[in-house]
Amino acid sequence: MKTPYEYAVIQAVPRIERGEVINVGVLLYSQRHDFLAARTHLHPERLFALDPGADIAAIRAALDSWQRMCVGDGASADMKLGERFRWLVAPRSTILRAGPVHMGLAEDPSAELDRLLELLVR
C-alpha cells in the first residue's frame, strides 16, 4: 500500500550572491515508515561551471553532515525524525540548502529516494 512521504531536493549554492544552484541530493521523510534519509551525488564539473573556485571537499563534508543528521548523529540525536527533517528543510543562506518540500506516495521510501535521486540529480 502506498503511503505519503515528503521530500526536498538538496541544492548546492557555491556563490550565494549569484543565486545559482545545482541539485546535489534528495532528502525524504516518511512518518508512517519512520524513515528519514538523504541520498547525494555531486557533479564537480557542474559545480565548477558555476564557480571555478568551488571547494569540493567542503561541499562533500557538508553533504555528509546532512546524512549524519538524518540518522541522528551528533546534535540531532535527541530529535525525532520529523524534527530533523524540518530542521534540514528550513531556509538558510549556506552552501547547501533544501528546495521546496513536495509530497508523494510510495510503498518503499528507500526505493523511492533512489528513484528521485536518479530523476532529479543524476
- For 51-103, give the DSSP string: -TT--HHHHHHHHHHHHHHHHT-GGGTTS-HHHHHHHHHS---SSEEE---EE
How many structural domains compose the chain?
A: 1
Instruction: Tell me the pLDDT of the chain averaged across its residues.
Output: 93
Range of the domain at 34: 3-120
| pTM, entire model | 0.92
Please say if the pLDDT value at position 93 is more than 80: no
- pLDDT tens digit string along 56-66? 999 999 999 99
- pLDDT tens digit string along 24-39? 999 999 999 999 999 9
At residue 76, the pLDDT reads 84
